[in-house]
Amino acid sequence: MQQIVNWYRKFLEGADRELYGRLAKGQAPHTLVVSCSDSRIVPEVIFSANPGELFVLRNVGNICRLDDPSVACAIEYAVNHLKVGSIVVLAHSDCGAVKAVEHKEHLDSRGLIEWLGEECFDGCDLECAIKASGIRQFERVAAHPAVKAAVQEGKLEVGLFFFDLATLCLARYNGRDWEKIC
């Protein structure tokens, strides 16, 4: 635990105090990102964002089940109160959550079963299944009444991206296919 304190001290040495002074008065993030808890997927790093720019919901598998209060609450707060202009669902390669869904014997505790037991592995390989899962999560977000209303008013855009760790390629789902962006 001491190491965490040391890392905090290191952060403090280089912290932008002017920025934090502004952020102390409130936040106005432009985007809600729903990403996996995976330690390799850090939305602020890959989208070059400073503190205050992204409202982030991270969970195992970037699952967007609207019957989960933490998912519903994050979406509603971001859309209705923070008035974000974009929601990004971020799927990623080598996702352990999707792997676990393929091998249901890995779901060996109550939390994992409750969280991932109802998810399904669609597609011929892991990448296809991760992308299919991403589409499922994207559709869930898009179906939220607050999201639907804001999109209809032209105030909100919802996107789904796939980030590949090995190549650093980013692809975007266009509603039918995946387009390579970078």
The verdict on 95 binding Zn ion (CB under 5 A) reads: yes
Contact 7, 14 (CB under 8 A): no
Contact 89, 130 (CB under 8 A): no
Contact 51, 23 (CB under 8 A): yes
The verdict on 141 binding Zn ion (CB under 5 A) reads: no
Beta carbons within 8 Å of 158's beta carbon, 6+ residues apart: 86, 87, 88, 89, 138, 141, 142, 147, 151
Q: Which of 16, 40, 120, 169 is catalytic?
A: 40
Q: Which of 17, 30, 68, 92 is catalytic?
A: 92
The verdict on 71 binding Zn ion (CB under 5 A) reads: no
Q: Which of 9, 17, 36, 81 is catalytic?
A: 36
The verdict on 89 binding Zn ion (CB under 5 A) reads: no
The verdict on 38 binding Zn ion (CB under 5 A) reads: yes
Is there a catalytic annotation at residue 176?
A: no
* Nearest distance, CB of residue 92 and Zn ion, angstroms: 6
Catalytic residues, by residue number, are 36, 38, 40, 92, 95
Give the interface with Zn ion as residue ranges (CB under 5 A). Answer: 36, 38, 95, 97
